[in-house]
Structure 1
Amino acid sequence: MDSLITAAARALAMGDPLGALNRIALRDDAPALALRGIAMAQLGDLDRARMLVRKAARAFGPKEAVARARCVLAEAEIAFVSRDLGWPAKTLDAARATLEQHGDRANAAHALHLEVRRLLLMGHLDAAESLLATLAPARLPPALRAAHELVTAGIAMRRLRTRPARTALARARRAADAARIPGLIAEVERATQILNAPAARLVAQGKERLLSLADVEALQASPALVVDACRYAVRDPRATVSLARRPVLFALAQALAEAWPGDVSRDALVARAFGAKRADESHRARLRVEIGRLRAVLRPLAHVSATKDGFTLTPRRATEIAVLARPVAEKHGGVLAFLADGESWSSSALALALGASQRKVQRALDDLAAAGKVQSFGRGRAQRWTTPPVPGFATTLLLPAPLADA
């Protein structure tokens, strides 16, 4: 490898894409194309980066399997950062196998981390945790060790395990400091801010207050009956009832829980569950049917009783009822939550991550755009959505640099 390629690779490893481009910007050989693609990705020009990396993969000969696998890995990370969650995972698996076969363990580990992050983003926590457990972080270089701990913290945060998450972030910070990559240090700081930021609202007996993730963890472990408007479930310490696919029943349960220990009038329940401004006899009949269904599904956890004016919710075992809501009341809060990571998302990627239909996500995006809460760029399949302005730091690109060959 010539000295300019080596110097450019070292510049990229230290988070200096402009320094790398100063050395190889006018070169079109395969190694230079690959490094130019990585540099453009770090600068945020993801379309140009993808084109350069693909061009580099074609330029490497059939005998340069490791170099081509590295290009596939770089393209996979560009796809991840641009939230192209439909990028073929089998292609990344094949590249990882090639890297492992040829002894490039660092880049093979990076490929595995990319797949774990993709699974985590889509909510597949068990699969992400199982795949991550196959790696020994102590053997990784500092940058990859930091990435490993960031993923570990992300899984712990989503499982409401704040102490392990905080411990993993502390390890990530030490590894990022050792790597001396400013963007990576910034990503660790942002993850720490997310851990400490308000994660939900507690609504109980007519009062509201913001909760941190640690507060949410404590609430879930308490003896209270919790109506969780973040995950659309009702739970106590012994049982959980999911209402994620039954929005009318959840709306009724949330209304009754917010009014506890009082009752909710029939007209108010009709307005909450069906969106009707005035209740007629057909609405009342439908309400009776839905209340009967709610009684049946909540029987292990609570009673739904009729009162003179409406209905009331009474826990079977718990001594109190609390509603766990999103920190900001927003009809399309789930979509905004994903866009808040600062990356540009396609509607298809959001649909995959949310487990919803693409048409439903598109309608939500149109509503949010009309309210000035999101903005888009591009057209057709290239259209991407983000929040204005982009909050926080862009996701750090830990793209592979062929330093091992230097």
Structure 2
Amino acid sequence: MDSLITAAARALAAGDPLGALNRVALRDDAPALALRGIAMAQLGDLVRAKALLRRAARAFGPKEAMARARCVVAEAEIALVSRDLGWPAKVLDAARATLETHGDHANAAHARNLEVRRLLLIGRLDEAERQLAGLDPALLPPAAKAAHALALAGIAIRRLHTAAARAALVRAGEAARQAGIPGLAAEVESASGVLDMPAARLIARGEERPLRLAEVEALLASGAFVVDACRHVVRDAGTVVSLATRPVLFALARALAEAWPGDVSRDVLVARAFRAKHADESHRARLRVEAGRLRVALRALADVTATKRGFALAPRHAAEIVVLAPPVDEPHGAVLAFLADGEAWSSSALAIALDASPRTAQRALDQLAAAGKVQSFGRGRALRWMTPPVPGFPTTLLLPGPLPSD
């Protein structure tokens, strides 16, 4: 490797893409193409970066398996940033194995971290933890150590383990400072800010207030009867009942919980559950049926009782009933939560992350676009969707993945 390639590689490792391009911008040999591709990725020109990396992978000879594997890892990172969640994970796994075989443990660890970040985006927390279990952070360079700690913090945040998340972010910050990469330090700072942002709203006895993540964790551990509108479950200290596939029952449960300790009139329940402007006898009959179904679903946690005016909820074990609601109530809140990261998403990637059909994801995007809440650019397969970050709208409680107690 000549001196210019070495200097360009060091510039990229230090987060200086322009310095790297000054050394290799006019060269078309395989190492220079790879470094140019990584530099363009750092500058945000992902399309050009992907093309350069693919040219580099083809230009490396058959005996340069490690160099080709590094190109694959770089392309996988571009795919992750581009939210191309359908990018073949087996290709990245094969590249990681090649790097480990050739002793490039730093880039192998980076490849594993990329896979962990993809798993976090689609809510597969158990798989992400298994991937991280194979890494010893003590053996990693500072930048990889910071990425490892960020991944651990991401898992802890999504599991609502805020103390573990803070500890991991402290380690990530120390490693980022040792690495001396401003972009990495900014990523750690941004992740740390999530812990201090409103993550949900508490609705109780007719009043509501924002909750930070640690307060959400404390609420769920308190033993209160919680109607969780972030995950569409009802829980108390020992039992969790999912109503994610029964929207009418959940709408009734939430309405009753918001009114506790009072009751809710039949007309209001009909409007909330069936979206009917005027309640007639057919609506009232259906309400009686759905109230009976809710009574059966929640029999281990609470009783749904009929009153003169309507219905009321009475907990069996808990002393209080509260509602845990998202920071912003939106018909397609989960889609907005993913787009709030500021990245450009394809509809297919959103469908993967939401565990929904492509048609469902596209329908939600079309409705949000009609309301002016998201915007698209590009055409065909290159069509992407994004929205400016919404203040106070973190994705923590909306990303897929149940809590350990679910």
Question: Which letter does structure 2 place at the counterpart of 1:142?
Answer: P
Q: Say if 1:342 and 1:391, in contact at 8 Å, map to a contact too.
A: no
Match for residue 25 of structure 1? 25
Match for residue 127 of structure 1? 127
Match for residue 160 of structure 1? 160
Shift of 1:164: 0.6
- Mark the CA change 1:181 to 1:390 in structure 2 (over 3 Å): closer, same or farther: farther
Are 2:65 and 1:80 aligned? no
Q: Spell out, residue by residue over 1:99-127, the C-alpha distance to the aligned partner (whole angstroms, 9 max, x if none).
A: 11111111111111111111111111111
Q: Say if 2:37 and 2:48, in contact at 8 Å, map to a contact too.
A: yes
Q: Equivalent residue of 1:12, what SS?
A: helix
Match for residue 12 of structure 1? 12
Match for residue 139 of structure 1? 139
Are 2:354 and 1:368 aligned? no
CA distance in 1, matches of 2:270, 2:359: 27
Are 2:59 and 1:59 aligned? yes
Match for residue 251 of structure 2? 251
Q: Spell out, residue by residue over 1:242-262, the C-alpha distance to the aligned partner (whole angstroms, 9 max, x if none).
A: 111111111111111001011
CA distance in 2, matches of 1:30, 1:284: 73
Match for residue 174 of structure 1? 174
Q: Spell out, residue by residue over 1:265-316, the C-alpha distance to the aligned partner (whole angstroms, 9 max, x if none).
A: 1111111111111112222222222111111111111101111111111111
Match for residue 397 of structure 2? none
CA distance in 2, matches of 1:174, 1:334: 33
TM-score (norm 1): 0.95
Question: Which letter does structure 1 place at the counterpart of 2:145?
Answer: R
Q: Say if 2:30 and 2:59, in contact at 8 Å, map to a contact too.
A: yes
Q: Equivalent residue of 1:314, what SS?
A: strand
Q: Spell out, residue by residue over 1:149-189, the C-alpha distance to the aligned partner (whole angstroms, 9 max, x if none).
A: 00100100111110010010000000000000000000000
Q: Which moved more, 1:66-75 or 1:358-367?
A: 358-367
Question: Which letter does structure 1 place at the counterpart of 2:325?
Answer: A
Q: Which moved more, 1:352-361 or 1:128-137?
A: 352-361
Q: Say if 1:342 and 1:390, in contact at 8 Å, map to a contact too.
A: no
Q: Which moved more, 1:365-374 or 1:293-302?
A: 365-374
**Following TM superposition, where does structure 1 have runs of at least 4 consecutive aligned residues deviating by more than 4 angstroms?**
389-392
Q: Spell out, residue by residue over 1:351-396, the C-alpha distance to the aligned partner (whole angstroms, 9 max, x if none).
A: 111112222221221222222222111112211111137989xxxx
TM-score (norm 2): 0.95
**Aligned-residue CA RMSD in angstroms?**
1.3
Question: Which letter does structure 1 place at the counterpart of 2:369?
Answer: A
Q: Spell out, residue by residue over 1:42-94, the C-alpha distance to the aligned partner (whole angstroms, 9 max, x if none).
A: 11111111111111111111111000001111111100110111111111111
CA distance in 1, matches of 2:18, 2:290: 62
Match for residue 286 of structure 2? 286
Count of residue correspondences = 392
Match for residue 387 of structure 1? 387
Q: Equivalent residue of 1:196, what SS?
A: coil
Q: Say if 2:301 and 2:317, in contact at 8 Å, map to a contact too.
A: yes
Q: Which moved more, 1:357-366 or 1:49-58?
A: 357-366
Q: Spell out, residue by residue over 1:194-226, the C-alpha distance to the aligned partner (whole angstroms, 9 max, x if none).
A: 111100000000000000000000000012100
CA distance in 2, matches of 1:391, 1:223: 30
CA distance in 2, matches of 1:366, 1:47: 25
Match for residue 110 of structure 1? 110
Are 2:195 and 1:207 aligned? no
Q: Say if 1:232 and 1:250, in contact at 8 Å, map to a contact too.
A: yes
Q: Spell out, residue by residue over 1:310-331, the C-alpha distance to the aligned partner (whole angstroms, 9 max, x if none).
A: 1111111000000000111222
CA distance in 1, matches of 2:380, 2:258: 43
Q: Which moved more, 1:4-13 or 1:360-369?
A: 360-369
Q: Equivalent residue of 1:331, what SS?
A: coil
Q: Which moved more, 1:137-146 or 1:292-301?
A: 292-301
